[in-house]
Chain A
Amino acid sequence: MFAGRTDLAISIRAMTVAYQRKPVLWEVNLDIPTGTLVGLVGPNGAGKSTLLKAILGMVPTVSGTVALFGQEYRKVRSRVAYVPQRSSVDWDFPATVRDVVTMGTYGSAGWFWPLSKRDRNRAHEAMEQVGILDLASRPINQLSGGQQQRAFLARALAQQADLFLMDEPFAAVDAATEHAIVECLRTLQKSGKTILVVHHDLHTVPEYFDYLVLLNVRTVAVGPMAETFTDENLRRTYGGRLTILDEVSEAIRRREATRP
C-alpha cells in the first residue's frame, strides 16, 4: 500500500488528527530523510506531542497515511523508540535505574522467558553511553530531573532502534544533562540513526539540529536548518504573538551574528 521510499525515515501524507472533532493536526505533510537530527518546533498547543503519538499509532487519525522507512508502523515497530515526556510516568514506581533501562529490551525478549545475557548487556551499554552507569542501582525516586531524562534516553538506546522520537527531552533539565543528551544524539546521528526531537527553546534550535519541522496544527515548513529557520517561516509558525515574535527575531539575529 505504501510507495516504500526506504530512504525516508518518516513520511506523512495528509494526516489529520482530531480530539472530539476539534482538529489538533490538520493535513500534515512531512518527509524526514534518514540520518537526520530533526527539531520539531512550534507554539504551545501546536500538536507536537500529538504528532509523535500519531506516528506511533497511539492516537487515532481521521485521515492520512504514515510510513516509517517506507512501511507501516506495525511492521517496523522494533526499529522505532519513543521517549515520552518525563512527567508522563510516576517516578515513585519501585524500580532501580537499571530496571527502567532494561525495560527497553523487553520488546525483543519474548513473552515469558527470563532475559538473556545479551539483553542485560544492552542495558548496561546504554547506561554507559549516557553516563549513568554509577546510578544503576539507585531507586528512580532519588533521581534528579536530568538523571531521569538520561535514564529514559538510555532506555530508548537499549531498544537499539533506528528512529528515535523524543518528546521534550530538554524540558527542565540541568545544563550538563542537556549537553550530554545533545552529544549522545549526535553520536547516534553519526551511526546513521534518525532522531526527531520536540524542542521548545528557539535559541538553541539552529545549534542542536540540522533539520527542522515547524508545526502549528499544519506543517508550516520542513527542511534543512539553513533554508527553513528563517524569519518569515517562524513568523508564520508563531504568527501574531508579539512576545514570541520578539524572541524569535532575537534568535534570528543571534544566529546571523554567529554565522561565519
Chain B
Amino acid sequence: MIATMIATIIFATMMDSIATIFTAWFGFDYNTRVVLAGTALLGCAGGAIGVLLLLRKRALIGDAIAHATLPGLAISFLIATGLQWDGKSLWILLPGAAATGLLGAMTVIAIRTFSPIKEDAAMGIVLSVFFGAGIAMMRIIQQIPEGYAAGLEGFIYGKTASMRFQDAWLIGVCGAIIVALLVLFRRQIELLCFDESLARTQGWPVTLVDIGLMAATTTIVIVGLQAVGMILIIAMLIIPAAAARFWTWRFWPTLATSSVIGCVGASIGAMASTMAEKVPSGAAIVIVLVVLFSLSAIFGRRNGIAWRLARRFRQRHETDGQHLLRSIYEWLEFQGKKPQDFGQTRSASFQLSELEFVRNWSPSRLARTARRFERIGLMVQVGRMHWALTASGIQQCVRAIRQHRLLELYFAEIANLSPEAIDRGADYSEHALDDQMLAELERDIAGASNAYEVPESIHPIGSREPQVAQVGAQLGTDHGKFPKANQE
C-alpha cells in the first residue's frame, strides 16, 4: 500500500506538470489547467479500464451504471437543497450517484441470475427505467423555485466549463490511483482477464480482484460524469480500447495505447469545451475519440485497413509478375527457344501480344507488368514491340516455372485430379511457397535429378483458357498442333 501512495504522489506531480505544459502552450489560467489535467488523467484511466471491460466482455455494464446514476444525482440534490446545504457539491452528489449506479448494475445481475431474461435485455430494461426516473426527477427539480438545476444538466452531457477547481482534483486523483493500481496488480488482472481458472489455481484472490475491477469501473463512471456526461461516458471506456486493438497484439501495450488514446481524446475534447462554453465536453470528447478510432482502424499496424489493402495490392503485383514470367517461359518453350539460365544473358525475343496466347490477360495489364519488369531490370526492349529477358529475368523466370511445375507434379502424385485442375491448384498455392517448402518439394519430387532442371509440363501449354483457341487463331498459329507435352 505504501507503493500505491508513492505512485499516487508521482501521478499528482505528473498532473501538475501536465498542467504546466498546458499553460506554456495555451496560456490557460491555473484553474483551467487543473481541469484539463484532471480530465486527461481520467481519460488515461478510462482507456485502461475499458480494455479490461472489453476483454472481460463486460463493456455494457459501464453504460448501465452511468445511466442509473441520474436518479441518485437528483435525489441527493433534492435532499441537500431541502437541508439548506450546497446541493452542487460533488461530495454530496457523487455518493448518491454511486448508490443508484451500483443499484442499477446489481439489478442487471439479479435479473440475469433469477429470471430467464438474458443480460442484454436486462441491461435495456434497467438502463431505460433508471434514466427515465432520473429525467422525471430533473423536471421536478427545475419546477421548484429554489431549484437551479442548471448545474445538473452538465452531468448528462458533460460540461468541463462548469467544473470547479476541487472537482478537477478529485477526478485527477481518482484517475491516478486507478492507473497506479492497474500497474501494481497488472499480472493478477491479466490472469483474470485471460483465464480465471489459472488465476484461481495459482491462489490469487480472484473474486477480490474482480470486485476491485468493478469498483474501478464505477469510480471512473462516477467521477467522469461531470467531464463527459452520463450518456457518453461509455464511449470513453470503449472507444480507446477498441482503437488500441488495431495497434498491438500484447496485453500490456494494449492497455498503454488505450490509455494514451483516452488521454488525448479527453484532453482535446475538454479543451474545446472549456474554450467554447456552449459545446458539451462529452460530445467533443467523443468526436475526437471517433477520429482517433477511425485513424487506428485505417492505419493501425495490426489489422489496419490501409495495410491490408497495401498487402493485397503487393501480393497481386507479385502474383502477376510470377504469372507473366511463367507465361514467357511457356511461350518460348513452345517455340523451342527455352531460356537457359546458364550462359545466356538474353533470352530469345518475344512480343507481348504473343503472350496473350498463353495467358489471357488484357493488353494493358500485360503492358503494365512488362513496364514494371523493365524498371526492375528483368526485361529489356530489343526492338519495336519485341522484348527479351535479361540474365536475372531468366533466372527468376526459371525459378517461377520450376516452382509451378514441381507443385503440379506433387499434386499429380497426391491427388488424382485432371491436369487442368492441377494447374489451377498450383496457380493458387505457388505464391505461398517459401524456400524451405520448395526445398522439400525438390527433395520429394525432383529426387536425384538436376536441381536446376525445369520439369516438363504435365499438361498441354496454352490450353488453360477457352479463349486461347481464338487468340491462337489471331496469331496465325495452329492450336491443333500444341505439343502434348511429355506425359510418359
Contact = CB atoms under 8 A, between A and B. Distances in A.
Contacts of A103: 190-191, 194-195, 198
A254 B213 CA distance: 54
B195 A88 contact: yes
A58 B202 CA distance: 12
A109 interface: yes
A96 B250 CA distance: 6
B203 interface: yes
A209 interface: no
A112 B249 contact: no
A81 B254 CA distance: 28
Given A84-B197, A89-B194, A90-B55, A95 B3 contact: no
B201 A95 contact: no
Contact of A107 (B57, B203, B249, B251): B203
A78 B193 CA distance: 21
Interface of A is mostly: mixed
A255 to B, nearest CB: 33
A82 B198 CA distance: 7
A88 B196 CA distance: 9
A91 B171 CA distance: 35
A5 interface: no
B212 to A, nearest CB: 13
B187 interface: yes
Interface string B188-225: 10110111011011111000000000000000000000
Contacts of A27: none
Interface in A56-101: 56, 58, 74, 77-78, 80-82, 84, 88-90, 93-96, 99-100
Nearest to B187: A106
A106 B197 contact: no
A82 B248 contact: no
B200 A94 contact: no
Contacts of A111: 184-185, 188
Contacts of A78: 203
5 contacts: A93-B251, A100-B194, A103-B191, A106-B191, A109-B187
Chain A to chain B: the 10 pairs with minimum beta-carbon distance, closest first: A107-B202, A139-B249, A94-B254, A82-B201, A84-B197, A89-B195, A77-B203, A93-B194, A106-B187, A94-B249
Given A88-B195, A107-B201, 14 more contacts: A56-B197, A58-B200, A77-B201, A82-B197, A90-B55, A94-B254, A99-B250, A99-B251, A103-B190, A103-B195, A103-B198, A106-B188, A107-B204, A112-B185
